[in-house]
Chains A and B, each alone.
Chain A
Amino acid sequence: MGRITLNKVTKSFGETQVIPPLDLTIEDGEFTVFVGPSGCGKSTLLRLIAGLEDITTGHIDIDGMDATAVPPAKRGLAMVFQSYALYPHMSVRKNIAFPLRMAKMDQVEIDRRVDNAASVLNLADYIDRRPGQLSGGQRQRVAIGRAIVREPAAFLFDEPLSNLDAALRVGMRLEISELHKRLETTMIYVTHDQVEAMTMADKIVVLRAGHIEQVGSPLELYKAPRNLFVAGFIGSPKMNFVEGAEAAKYDAHTVGVRPEHIAISGTEGAWKGRVGVSEHLGSDTFFHVHDTGLAETLTVRADGEVSFKHGDTVYLTPREDVVHRFDAQGLRIG
């Protein structure tokens, strides 16, 4: 069980309010991702839920019980830290067993749970090593192991993959998703990487300066971003924004078109431009098109086969049905 409700929660450090009043419900078993640029308050929010920071005003309920004044250890939550925070002088076994020892659990049960976690996470071969002798990915798994043995109401992940290299990150992303499917426990995951958010989340919470900009499933956010910030943050490469006369044609202050929703042609199209840098990924090619008179650069995704040279003149055509329209306040129209 792990339904977490935040009710008008605020947090101030001295005079500066980093979290303005905020309401949020995380359903039991949901994989929720807090995403936003650095300094948007997502880690602070996670630490408030964990109890590592006191909230200034408001309430946090966990499973219907007011947990606002409950110390971190009693909230039944387990956290995986960015630096993993393993205890360097303890073996992997002792690290994983630490929370159980603190709970004065009986030794037989501790051994059973630790062995179970070790086999789930493929740690059995390293169980007697110290964290210093493990690779980044193995340390990450130990940190997750230490969290799962407690059988918590919810897992909290604070940017757990940011210290891993790209290939390992993709692997661990899958492992964490797999773990969530198997345990069906609530997970709250903080990241600044929208790819992690899109691939892992059941529900994404986009934060900016402590405000919730939008809450929704990955596809909801992709298809119907509520404002310019979410539109620009979700999706890679970024959505193109066009203002002025061209936007007025759509009855909007700003229109947004994703790179994958623009067709590129060497002969005809709505907007004319000049090819700048092209990024060939094999499967796709991204063209950065300049001199369209609409925006400084428009990014266009094309098939990997399509090839234009630097300086070529090209024509771009947006797909009318997926043009996002925004008003002068940056809010979505329609």
Chain B
Amino acid sequence: MATQSSRSAARLMMAPAVILLLGWMLAPLITTLYFSFRRYLPLRGGDQGWVGFENYTRFIGSSAFWPSVQTTLIIVGGVLVITVLLGIVLALLLDQPMWGQGIVRILVIAPFFVMPTVSALVWKNMFMDPVNGLFAHLWKFFGATPVEWLSQASLQSIVMIVSWQWLPFATLILLTAVQSLDGEQLEAAEMDGAPFIKRFWYIVLPHLGRAITIVILIQTIFLLSIFAEIFVTTGGAFGTRTLTYLIFQRVLESQNIGLGSAGGVYAIILANIVAIFLMRIVGKNLDN
């Protein structure tokens, strides 16, 4: 890309991709913004014209709004904590030489390939069912009363299901980071008198910093919009209604597209607030 002509040629050739991506992003955003200012009830009179900020005040004024934001943050936060902590532990374990390493690694990654709907159904029916679930049998085996997971501990159950799906992703990214650590650094630290815990704290963890940042950022993007797990298990009941789910209910169950669109705009704002906080906290790991 040295000469003037090659630079303008590059710009010309990149243009289609840039325009496509821009359109891809802007079209839905503009449609959402457009509908959020209209009264649009598909089954009750259709598009009934501009209403200003009414949808916005109604959405935020609804008693379901703040609890849904809270639920969203709890799920995202809970899953992040669990996947990052367990991911580090698993990555360290999988890095150890052992028999059948290849198979074990594939098994660890496997849950990531299961579709969210399927994994939620499997968890709901095979593990968490209070009568026939494996957990119920386990509880009964020890003489305890089976827990009705999805109604008594609904939020925790969903955090558990989603963590199970995302743990492989975190483990995989962190494992590659662990493997890229220079063994001589660990040996130097060992000679310098650092026991295992201190070697982990002063050498391994700082080395993993960047990978942890990436795991947190990527997972947050996807976790803010989890839907299938809630739809399949609790249907938004028992305090598991996230902002995404609330929007879904407003649009499809209440048949109010304007109100749902306003919720969508709030979701964008929430995502950006979360992103800003995350970049503040962990983003500095990315500069170097």
Contact = CB atoms under 8 A, between A and B. Distances in A.
B9 to A, nearest CB: 36
Contact of B184 (A73, A74, A77, A81): A81
B95 interface: no
Given A83-B184, A89-B206, A77 B191 contact: yes
A77 B209 CA distance: 31
B193 A99 contact: yes
Contact of B191 (A79, A87, A90): A79
Interface in A155-211: none
B189 A98 contact: yes
Q: Contact size class for A?
A: 20 to 34
A87 B190 contact: no
Interface string A113-134: 0000000000000000000100
Given A89-B209, A102-B198, A73 B182 contact: no
A89 B288 CA distance: 10
B184 A87 contact: no
B202 interface: yes
Interface string B100-117: 000000000000000000
Contact of A81 (B187, B198, B206): B187
B188 interface: yes
B206 A72 contact: no
Given A82-B184, A85-B182, A50 B207 contact: no
Nearest to A47: B187
A42 interface: no
A50 B194 CA distance: 15
Interface in B160-197: 182, 184-185, 187-195
Interface string B194-219: 11001000110011010000000000
A159 B180 CA distance: 22
Interface-centre pick from A77, A102, A146 (highest chain B CB count, 10 A): A102
Contacts of B288: 132
B188 A85 contact: yes
B5 to A, nearest CB: 37
A52 interface: yes
Contacts of A90: 202
B193 A87 contact: no
Interface in A274-306: none
A18 interface: no
A35 B130 CA distance: 71
A78 interface: yes
Contacts of A52: 187, 190-191
Contacts of B191: 50-52, 72-73, 77-79, 99
A51 B192 CA distance: 12
A328 interface: no
Contacts of A77: 191
A99 B207 CA distance: 19
Contacts of A270: none
A102 B184 CA distance: 18
A146 B188 CA distance: 10
A98 to B, nearest CB: 5
A52 B192 CA distance: 12
A72 B195 CA distance: 11
B182 A83 contact: yes
A10 to B, nearest CB: 22
Contacts of A81: 184, 187-188
Nearest to A152: B191
Contacts of A89: 206-207, 209
B187 A87 contact: no
Contacts of A102: 192-194, 198
Contacts of A72: 187, 190-191
A108 interface: no
B177 to A, nearest CB: 13
B97 to A, nearest CB: 13
A85 B185 contact: yes
A73 B207 contact: no
A79 B209 contact: no
A88 B205 CA distance: 12
A89 B207 CA distance: 8
19 contacts: A50-B191, A51-B191, A72-B190, A73-B191, A73-B195, A74-B193, A81-B187, A81-B188, A85-B187, A87-B189, A87-B203, A90-B202, A98-B189, A98-B194, A102-B193, A102-B194, A102-B198, A132-B288, A146-B188
Interface of A: 50-52, 72-74, 77-79, 81-83, 85-90, 98-99, 102-103, 132, 146, 150
Task: Report the 9 A-B pairs with minimum CB-CB distance, sorted nearest first.
Answer: A99-B192, A73-B193, A85-B188, A85-B184, A102-B193, A89-B206, A81-B184, A85-B185, A102-B194
Given A85-B184, A88-B207, 7 more contacts: A73-B191, A79-B191, A85-B188, A89-B209, A98-B189, A102-B198, A146-B192
